[in-house]
Structure 1
Amino acid sequence: MKPVHYSDYLQLEKILGAQQLESELHQMPAHDEMLFIIIHQAYELWFKQIMYEVESVNSILQRPSLNDNSPELQTVVHRLQRTVTILKVLVQQIDIMETMTPMDFLDFRDMLRPASGFQSWQFKVLEARLGLQYQQRHGREYYISQLRPEQIALIKKAESEQPLIGLLNDWLERMPFLDESPDWWSSYSAVYHESLTENERNNLEGFDAVFMKDGVDGRQLSARSSRAALFIMLYRGYPILQLPFQLLNVLLEIDEQLSTWRYRHMNMVNRMIGSRVGTGGSTGKEYLKGAVDKHYIFKEIAQLTSFLVERRKLPVLDRKMEQRLGFTDSE
């Protein structure tokens, strides 16, 4: 076997030679441009790694059968948890970026036009593979307007494939427990409605839209899968539901970290350029604010917490169901 050298394996000659400063080309040296380039290169590398994890998860969830107590489901949860950890690093990198002052940025900002983070096609592909739909996008009329044809093709391909949230829906719909305990849903529905205040009882459209109807307001989770997800949240103390609950929870963490990153990014842009238009022609802070408010991918899972009841009020599961959820053989 041929010996491998550290520099060759990491292709350091390419990586360390990939920082071409525009300020040097213009013979107007700007010290902080090196930091600006390296941070954004690091972002793109992390986007690539996150995509690598998400695509592997999607491949596992595409299988027609996935045991809820299997190594494969553990792998899904583990890789999504790694994704959350990477997203936390992306947020922390903004601390490094903010060591650059607005005047430092102005030294080279105009030399970058029309380059912009808005042209990060990898991030747009990642959003699509997670489940951000075209109609959900803020500023969708120009979100691909500055990209190259081959980059637009990659985004369109990603949007045409079933995303993570769609695969999650299919997996939840296969959960057998609701079929095996058909009386549970009517019992729970009664308990939930009894727990409502008078004001809450006057607004029950949300309950029916989530659990009784499909496709209301563009929802990506079906009524059946929503009932299954709620069941997992309510009875997560049973061993067989531990991994499914971790899966739902880690998806909420991904949304939370993406939102935190967008929020920190928005504030950084406001700090650096104020109300100016971005180098790529976007509205800068205002565009980012719209994305912060609108780009929640797994909000339908978060919404389910509105329909929880206290543990002491939960319908008691029959013994056969308890045995299945507890990894015990039925008698």
Structure 2
Amino acid sequence: MSEGVHYSDYLQLEKILDAQAPESDKLNQPAHDEMLFIIIHQAYELWFKQLLYEVDSVAAIMRKPAVNDNSPELQTVVHRLSRVVSILKVLVQQIDIMETMTPMDFLDFRDMLRPASGFQSWQFKILEAKLGLKYQHRFGQEYYISQLRPAQVELIKQVEQERSFIELLNDWLERMPFLDEVKDFWNNYRNLYTTSLASAEAENKAFFDTVFADEAAGGDRRLSPRACRAALFIMLYRGYPILQLPFQLLNNLLEIDEQLSTWRYRHMSMVHRMIGTRIGTGGSTGRDYLKGALDKHYIFAEIARLTSFLIERRKLPALPADMERRLGFVGGA
């Protein structure tokens, strides 16, 4: 009879608990806080692995030719993206533990780490690429892969050739079945939106058209005008049962961007507190690089921008009776 699975064997605890080798110990200059520093970063990398696992799983679903908007598949996507958000919140909270280390504690071992740097976290770069942060949208492109090993560079380049999650999202939004039935709706909504603002109506219409008019396709945008129309429609009419899961999906993506931004801000603030304006151990500009990434690395900014085009619920155009019926659970498309 099998002895069954033992806790320590299942988790391979001997490998994990023996995976901390402080440089300060090797040099016979023990620095107490280096153990904390190592474990925090090992925990980050484990969470990055889980994030990649979740993102790959939802991308596989979104890659299908059709995803029913009222199906277990879409529920799975929403559930796993919610898990991604929860993990990112943990990453932010771990900085609280890191900040129990003072600048002097860090200086006890910092120079022993050169040229090691968090900038060499290839898993995090792959996560960003899988979500949709392309090379051309990055801050500090000259540093992006400069500190990585050739195999890691090749892996990242391979990922960047694949369709990212935001591209799969664009495809999914463009397939929304109701779009072709509400052509008159868009002209009506455009007029309602442009006349509801204090600025000149012509100026408002031009702004509206830069996002939603088919003529505005192309350029350096990640969501097509058609996909933007679908996303705004979901936001406006999210109260209908069949649009609730699509709205939760979009909302999770905004939360992912917010948590990534919060993590970058907290990281930047911690670095400034720890090393001031010094150059990072990996050769980056330290706080200045992190500030640039914070300002530029928004993956789902085009979804967030759509909130600029919302109007009061009481002013929303009424939908045709047949469409209202199909947006409910009974007879939903």
In structure 2, the partner of 1:258 is 260
Corresponding position: 1:68 with 2:106? no
Q: What corresponds to 2:145 in structure 1?
A: 144
Whether the aligned pair in 1 keeps the contact of 2:194 and 2:201 (CA below 8 Å) is no
Aligned counterpart, 2:125: 124
Q: Give unmatched runs, 5+ long, in structure 2.
A: none
- CA offset digits 1:95-124 (Å, max 9, x no partner): 000000000000000000000000000000
State the 1:327 CA deviation: 2.2
Q: Size of the alignment, in residue pairs? A: 330
Cα distance in 1 for partners of 2:155, 2:194 equals 46
What is the alpha-carbon root mean square deviation over aligned residues?
1.3
Give the corresponding residue for 2:159: 158
1:85 aligned partner: 86
Residue number in structure 2 paired with 1:221: 223
Aligned partner of 1:26 in structure 2 is: 27
Q: What does residue 41 of structure 2 align with?
A: 40
Tell me by how many angstroms 1:199 deviates.
4.5
Q: In the aligned structure 2, how far is the partner of 1:199 from the partner of 1:163?
A: 38
**Secondary structure at 1:81 match in 2:** helix
Deviates more, 1:133-142 or 1:213-222: 213-222
Q: Is 1:304 the counterpart of 2:306 in the alignment?
A: yes
What residue number does 1:237 align with? 239
Q: SS of the counterpart of 1:198?
A: coil
Between stretches 203-212 and 54-63, larger displacement belongs to 203-212
Query: Which of 304-313 and 203-212 deviates more?
Result: 203-212
> Cα deviation per residue 1:287-306 (whole Å; 9 max; x = unaligned)?
00000000000000000001
Q: Partners of 1:204 and 1:237 in 2: how far apart?
A: 27
Superposed CA offset, 1:37-62 (max 9, x none): 00000000000000100000000000
Aligned counterpart, 1:289: 291
What is the CA–CA distance in structure 2 between the aligned matches of 1:329 and 1:39, rounded to whole Å?
A: 51
Question: Gaps spanning 5+ residues in structure 1: where?
Answer: none
2:190–2:205 CA contact under 8 A, matched in 1: no
CA displacement at 1:2 relative to structure 2: 5.3
Q: Is the 8 A contact 2:194 2:204 kept in 1?
A: no
Determine the C-alpha separation between the residues in 1 that align with 2:201 and 2:219.
21
Q: Distance in 2 between matches of 1:122 and 1:30?
A: 28
Q: Quick check: 2:103–2:274 contact (8 Å CA) kept in 1?
A: yes
Q: Which moved more, 1:69-78 or 1:210-219?
A: 210-219
Judge conservation of contact 1:178–1:184 (CA < 8 Å) in 2. Answer: no
Q: Distance in 2 between matches of 1:320 and 1:34?
A: 64
Amino acid of the structure 2 residue aligned with 1:100: M
Given that residues 130 and 160 in structure 2 are in contact (C-alpha distance below 8 angstroms), is that contact kept between their aligned partners in structure 1?
Answer: yes
Moved more, 175-184 or 321-330: 321-330
Distance 2:128 2:201 in 1: 34
The 5 A counterparts of 1:310-321 are: 310-321=312-323
Match of 2:13?
12
Partner of 1:180: 181
AA of the residue aligned to 1:152:
V
> Please, what TM-score do these two structures have when normalized by structure 2?
0.97
Q: Which of 194-203 and 159-168 deviates more?
A: 194-203
Residue 170 in 1 paired to residue 167 in 2? no
Do the aligned partners of 2:84 and 2:256 also contact (CA within 8 Å) in 1?
yes
Which residue in the other structure is 1:247 paired with?
A: 249
Could you tell me how far 1:180 is from its partner in structure 2?
2.3
Which 4+ stretches in 1 moved above 2 angstroms?
198-206, 213-217, 327-330
Question: 2:4 maps to which residue?
Answer: 3
> Percentage identity across aligned positions?
73
Structure 1 position 215, deviation (Å): 4.2
Which residue in the other structure is 2:108 paired with?
107
Partner Cα separation in structure 1 for residue 107 and residue 199 of structure 2: 57
The code of the aligned residue for 2:273 comes to R
